[in-house]
């Protein structure tokens, strides 16, 4: 009887907490939690606590944890989807002594032959596979979480995600030479990467947002001006809507209205990614400049990150010409410009409210 009661209690407990977890993950619950957190004062004591962690212990037989070993110096490539980040991954893949990992968080789970498939994007010229560098890493399956591609897309230096940190560290440790990790989903996580991997260097790539947005749309003829968020799901091949749903909990000004044009949300996310990339990277380059003058740009990138012994002609040969300004075939400059101007005003208003107020001279205050 006691065993029966215990089993029943365990079953009810599991179902109860499964229900709570389900409710906690729906958007309405996240809305409530986000609003509640915004109303609470920020935790103030953590910085002081962190500053004290290296103080000597008063008890000789109680030891602090040994200092972590110095990390190897990985290179993180960061850029939005369709920004040219795959081209950078190819360049580093062709350099002796580099192990270049393609999109480590990709849902195809490159480390698992059963899920990664065999196809490659035909627009990725000279690419035959994405996964060779992941072979021999089945242990990544115990750490990988598909939600990394759509949840917690913003992470500041204090964010905690131990499985993600250990997953990245495993890739760094597995590389026989220098590890190069190319991401499309960490622009807004760069503060966290800096804090958790202080030895790493970061290369950021950016592309004209109009061309970048249009390159995410289907190739068939499409009236871009008529697009609406409420009807965009079938055309959303690069996760704009999931990104908007997650990031609005951190950036409440993001536009998710059904009647809005999707380029408004796209440009909002693009601008945030650009700002984070410029602030937190060691080097930020543009896709257009790389394609226009590959010899100069490739040499500049390699010099910045201390890489030598590469074949410049071979790397330049990987850079295929790309027509710039193809967005003009989709919509007018006035159309895109009006949306961009609205977003810029909105972002300036938001960031202006967060910036510390400038102290005015007392005489000016008295005169007022």
In the block, residue with structure tokens 């958007």: 27
Closest CA to 350 of 260, 245, 248, 259: 248
- Within a 10 A sphere around the Cβ of 310, how many other Cβ atoms? 18
Angle between helices 333-354 and 262-280 (to 10 degrees): 50
Question: Per DSSP, which regions of the chain are E strands?
Answer: 75-78, 98-102, 178-183, 201-206, 283-286
Burial class of residue 84 in the structure, from the number of CB atoms within 10 Å of its CB (0-12 exposed, 13-18 middle, 19+ buried): buried
In the structure encoding, which two tokens stand for residue 284, read together? Answer: 């930020």
Contact in structure between 233 and 241 (CB atoms under 8 Å) = yes
The residue extents of the domains of the chain are 75-354
pTM summary value: 0.83
Instruction: Report how far Cα 94 is from the mean position of its chain's Cα atoms.
Output: 24
> Which pair of structure tokens corresponds to residue 368?
């007022």
**Which stretches in the chain have pLDDT values below 50?**
38-44, 365-366, 368
pLDDT at 368: 46
- Burial of residue 273, with CB atoms counted within 10 A of its CB: 0-12 exposed, 13-18 middle, 19 or more buried: buried
8-14: long-range contacts (C-beta < 8 A, 24 or more apart)? Answer: none
**CA–CA dist 166, 267 (Å, integer):** 32
Instruction: Give Cα separations from 253 to 173, 193, 211, 272 (angstroms).
Output: 40, 25, 24, 12
Fold of 75-354: Rossmann fold (3.40.50)
Burial of residue 194, with CB atoms counted within 10 A of its CB: 0-12 exposed, 13-18 middle, 19 or more buried? middle
Rounded Cα distance between 270 and 213, Å, is 9
> Which residue intervals of 234-293 are DSSP H helices?
240-247, 262-280, 287-292
Neighbours of 117 (CB within 10 A): 12
Instruction: Please tell me the distance from the alpha carbon of residue 107 to that of residue 103, in angstroms, as a whole number.
Output: 9
Rounded to 5 degrees, φ, ψ at 50 are: -65, -35
Q: What is the pLDDT of residue 142?
A: 97
pLDDT of amino acid 365:
46
The residue length of the chain stands at 368
- Dihedral sign, CA of 231, 236, 240, 243? positive
Please check whether residue 140 is in contact with residue 170, taking contact to mean a CB–CB distance below 8 angstroms. Answer: yes
Q: Are strands 201-206 and 283-286 parallel, antiparallel or unpaired?
A: parallel
DSSP state of 149: G
Q: What is the DSSP letter of 215?
A: H
Sheet with 178-183, strands from edge to edge, namely 98-102, 178-183, 75-78, 201-206, 283-286
Burial 199-235 (b: 16+ CB within 10 A, else e): ebbbbbbbbbbbbbbbbbbeeeeeebeebebeebeee
In this prediction, residue 192 carries a pLDDT of: 97
Look at residue 218 in the predicted model and tell me its pLDDT: 83
Cβ pair 277, 190 in contact under 8 A? yes
pLDDT of residue 41: 44
- Give residue 14's pLDDT: 83
């Amino acid at each position: 009887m006691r065993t029966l009661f215990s089993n029943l209690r365990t079953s009810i407990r599991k179902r109860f907490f499964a229900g709570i977890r389900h409710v906690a993950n729906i958007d309405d619950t996240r809305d409530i939690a986000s609003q509640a957190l915004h109303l609470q004062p920020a935790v103030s004591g953590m910085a002081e606590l962190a500053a004290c962690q290296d103080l000597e212990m008063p008890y000789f037989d109680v030891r602090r944890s040994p200092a972590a070993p110095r990390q190897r110096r990985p290179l993180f490539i960061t850029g939005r989807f369709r920004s040219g980040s795959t081209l950078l991954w190819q360049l580093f893949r062709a350099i002796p002594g580099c192990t270049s990992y393609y999109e480590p968080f990709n849902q195809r789970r490159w480390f698992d032959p059963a899920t990664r498939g065999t196809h490659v994007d035909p627009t990725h010229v000279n690419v035959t596979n994405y996964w060779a560098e992941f072979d021999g890493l089945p242990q990544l399956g115990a750490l990988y979480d598909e939600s990394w591609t759509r949840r917690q897309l913003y992470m500041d230096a204090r964010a905690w995600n131990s499985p993600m940190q250990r997953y990245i560290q495993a890739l760094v440790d597995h590389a026989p030479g220098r590890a190069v990790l190319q991401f499309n989903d960490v622009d807004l996580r760069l503060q966290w990467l800096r804090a958790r991997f202080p030895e790493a260097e970061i290369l950021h790539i950016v592309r004209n947002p109009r061309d970048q947005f249009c390159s995410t749309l289907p190739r068939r003829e499409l009236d871009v001006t008529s697009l609406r968020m409420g009807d965009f799901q079938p055309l959303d091949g690069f996760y704009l809507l999931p990104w908007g749903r997650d990031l609005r909990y951190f950036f409440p000004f993001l536009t998710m209205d059904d009647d809005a044009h999707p380029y408004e949300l796209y440009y909002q996310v693009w601008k945030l990614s650009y700002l984070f990339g410029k602030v937190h990277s060691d080097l930020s380059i543009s896709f257009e400049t790389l394609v226009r003058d590959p010899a100069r740009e490739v040499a500049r990138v390699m010099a910045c990150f201390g890489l030598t012994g590469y074949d410049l002609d071979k790397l330049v040969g990987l850079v295929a010409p790309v027509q710039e300004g193809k967005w003009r075939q989709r919509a007018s400059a006035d159309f895109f410009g009006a949306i961009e101007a609205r977003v810029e005003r909105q972002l300036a208003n938001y960031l202006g409210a967060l910036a510390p107020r400038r102290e005015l001279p007392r005489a000016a205050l008295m005169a007022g």
